[in-house]
Amino acid sequence: MTPSQNLLAELAKPTQAFSKAEQKVASAILANPELTTRSSIARLAQSAKVSEPTVNRFCKRLGATGFPDFKLKLALSLASGARFINSAVAEDDTAPTFTPKIFNASIHALEITRDSVDPKLIHHVIDEVVASKRIYFFGQGNSGPVALDAEFKFFRFNTPVSAHQDPLMQRMLAAASKPGDLFVIISYTGRTIELVETARLARDSLATVISITAPASPLARASDLAITLDVGEDTDEYLPMTSRLAQLTLLDVIATGVTLRQGQAHLPHLARIKKSLTSTRFDNSEQDA
């Protein structure tokens, strides 16, 4: 663990072996870390009621080369992690307070996912997508729109692709599948009975099944490859499903990987698609009152 990344947490940690004077410094900083990053050593020493060298020693003990370096690291840890400490939405929140909280929660979910995804697995998934002759995206409920979004994204490739939310349709497609078909099943919980059965049907027909779902869930186990997300949510009544964003971004990653794999060969195809949209748009310059 790098001490620079979480200086604030380090300061607040009760297990820290600070001496009396150092304790004072720590609380003075925690009282207003934001201000501290713009203070002089003299000001901080005064507000902590200790001498300046004590502050300096305190900084060095925490891994900084001196006070300025400490301020820098404090500012950085303030910028990254700190905001999340109390980001639960409360009942008395108003627009200015809950708006950043929700954005931060979403950002946090993406950071977690970014740091936990296994690139090797992504690589394998891309292999499967490239090798497939047909792709189906399945999702129900909240994951339905995600599947639909994936359809738009993967439409750029020459492989036929479709998204389905209807359970019966999903079931029929899975039962009628054949080798070379790829099913990408998206489910936050991985416990939707119909989707798990659909996965089994597809695999019985020797199609490939990839899921984006919860770790160690029935769906993950029923798939050939499972990208598992553990964003950990649904606990707070007010905080929304941040997992969709992680799922969407993951699909972006896969689509990008496929694009890169296919190389320049398909760029004309993309250009044609883009061109087909221009007539539906207002010109960038033109006007309407």
Q: Which of residues 4-33 bind DNA (CB under 7 A)?
A: 19-22
Min separation Cβ 17 and a second copy, Å: 27
Q: Report the site for a second copy in 161-220 (rule: CB under 8 A).
A: 189, 191-194, 196, 218
Among the listed ranges 54-62, 157-165, 167-175, 189-197, the one in contact with DNA (CB under 7 A) is 54-62
Cβ neighbours of residue 38 closer than 8 Å, sequence gap 6 or more: 71
Residue closer to a second copy (CB basis): 24 or 136: 136
User: Which residue lies nearer to a second copy by CB, 9 or 107?
Assistant: 107
Q: Hey, how many other C-beta atoms are within 10 angstroms of the C-beta on 238?
A: 13
Q: How far apart are CA 216 and CA 231, in angstroms?
A: 14
Interface with a second copy, residue 265, by CB under 8 A? no
Which of residues 41 and 201 has its CB atom nearest to DNA in the complex?
41
Q: Whose Cβ is closer to DNA: residue 50's or residue 147's?
A: 50
Cα four-point dihedral sign 82, 242, 258, 117: positive
The verdict on 111 binding a second copy (CB under 8 A) reads: yes
Q: CA 211 to CA 215: how far, in whole Å? A: 10
62 conformational bin, left if phi > 0, alpha if psi -120 to 50, beta if neither:
alpha
Q: Which does 116 bind (CB under 5 to 8 A by kind): DNA, a second copy, none?
A: none
Q: Does 252 bind a second copy (CB under 8 A)?
A: yes
Q: Would you count residue 56 as binding DNA (CB under 7 A)? A: yes
Q: Please give the residues from 7 up to 46 whose contact with a second copy meets the rule CB under 8 A.
A: 37-38
Nearest to DNA of 58, 183 (CB atom): 58
Its sign, for the CA torsion 59, 60, 64, 67, is positive
Of DNA, a second copy, none, which one sits near residue 275, judging by CB under 5 to 8 A according to partner kind? none
Establish if 277 lies at the interface with a second copy (CB under 8 A): yes
Q: Euclidean distance between the first and final Cα of the chain, in Å?
A: 58
Q: How many other CB atoms sit within 10 Å of the CB of residue 208?
A: 22
| Helix (H) / strand (E) containing 104 | helix 95-116
According to DSSP, the residues that pair with 159 across neighbouring strands are: none
Q: What 3-state class would DSSP assign to 256?
A: helix
Residues that bind DNA (CB under 7 A): 19-22, 40-42, 49-54, 56-57, 59, 65-69, 71
